[in-house]
Amino acid sequence: MVIPDQNRAIDPPARPTDSEVALYRWVAANERMDADRAALELGLTREEVEAAVVSLNQLGLLKPDLDDPARLRPVDPDLVAAVVTISMEAAIRTQQAELHRIRDQFADLRGHYRDSLSRESVDLEAIPGVEEVRAALNRAAEECTEEMLTSQPGGNRVPEVLQEALARDTAMLSRGVRMRTLYHHTARFNGPSQAYVATVSALGAEYRTAHELFGRLIVFDRKVAFIPERGGTWGAVVIREPSVVHYLCEVFEQAWTQAAPFSDAAADGLELVAKDIHRTIVRLLAAGLKDESIARRIGMSLRTARKHIADIMETLGAESRFQAGVLAAQQGLLDEVQEAGSGD
């Protein structure tokens, strides 16, 4: 297909100059041509008037009277324009037809392009059901050869889920796969989580905890990532697009650097761990977060988070969440939170 040169302009038809337009008006008003008088009244030289007459004759806008050649008659300009623009209009219609033909041809290619996309590897895949998600995770784990990164928000891990993960994780560790997992600090209070971490850490896995986590994430070999499907369902979204997976790994690495090694609450001291959690809640209260958001950010159930919030407000003597934030700031508790956070 040869595409016409769109830069090639269509030569426009000749059109009257300002002097010629002025002379046409003068002739239309006076009917008889008088070069000297026209030059005087129009502010032109006689030579300019005579040149304008010749041009208007050539354009067909003036014609001599058959009975009196010295007399010039104006011609209907619409008729003249229709004649002199015929070739230009024909060229425009030809280019418009070619333009529509080119657009139609490229539109026909659109369907082939979409068909090719459907045959390419899927960079984004939604898995709606929990059983399908488990199957996809098991398959990805079996194919993993180098590294698995995991962020697991929440403090309580179901023993049945941990038992299933134990078999999968043990198999990967035996193949030399490096495993790193992030938990919330509240996971240190959970007995099944403590036992699981102790068992798998002995095989080489690494675990750290943080006050807050960015969300649930599993990445295999920095090539395929699993994130939750929106809406709080048990589904997942599988991501294989390299740039997005790389970005998620960078988010994990930043959180990992700021997290602390996993240890159970008894080893750290229950009072110390509880105080650490209270500091985080105070900061989130001061930031104006709602109970649901605070619970999710620190990995607690909503009921437990509300109990902690009530204890903090009672300790501060606050009657509202806003007042709790103000009192915490006045007592320097927010400064303590920042100092504690900088040490993670």
Convert the pLDDT of each residue in 241-277 to its tens digit.
999 999 999 999 999 999 888 875 445 545 555 666 7
pLDDT confidence bin for 35, thresholds 50/70/90? confident
CB 322 within 8 A of CB 295: no
Q: Averaged over 1-13, what is the pLDDT? A: 47
Paired tokens of 42: 């129009």
pLDDT value at position 15?
A: 74
**172 has pLDDT over 90:** yes
- N- to C-terminal Cα distance for the chain? 65
Averaged pLDDT score across all residues of the chain: 79
Q: Between β-strands 72-74 and 224-228, what pairing exists: parallel, antiparallel or unpaired?
A: unpaired
**1 has pLDDT over 70:** no
CA distance 124 to 235: 13
Chain centre distance of CA 35: 72
CA distance 193 to 161: 11
CA distance 86 to 13: 9
% of the chain beyond a pLDDT of 70: 81
| From 104-108, 150-154, 271-275, 336-340, the region with the lowest mean pLDDT | 336-340
Chain centre distance of CA 256: 26
Of residues 144 and 63, more confidently modeled: 144
pLDDT value at position 150?
A: 95
pLDDT tens by residue, 71-126: 777 777 777 777 777 878 888 888 898 988 988 888 888 777 677 656 655 688 88
**312 has pLDDT over 50:** yes
Q: Averaged over 41-58, what is the pLDDT? A: 83
CA distance 344 to 39: 95
CA distance 238 to 244: 11
- Tell me the one-letter amino acid at 91: A
Q: Between β-strands 178-184 and 206-210, what pairing exists: parallel, antiparallel or unpaired?
A: parallel
Paired tokens of 29: 């008003």
Sequence length of the chain is 344
Paired tokens of 294: 């605070």
| From 25-39, 190-204, 263-277, 278-292, the region with the lowest mean pLDDT | 263-277
Paired tokens of 323: 């007042």
Residue owning tokens 């997942």:
236
| From 20-24, 77-81, 108-112, 328-332, the region with the lowest mean pLDDT | 328-332
- Tell me the one-letter amino acid at 150: T
Angle subtended by helix axes 270-286 and 291-298, to nearest 10: 140
Q: Averaged over 155-165, what is the pLDDT? A: 70
CA distance 22 to 16: 10
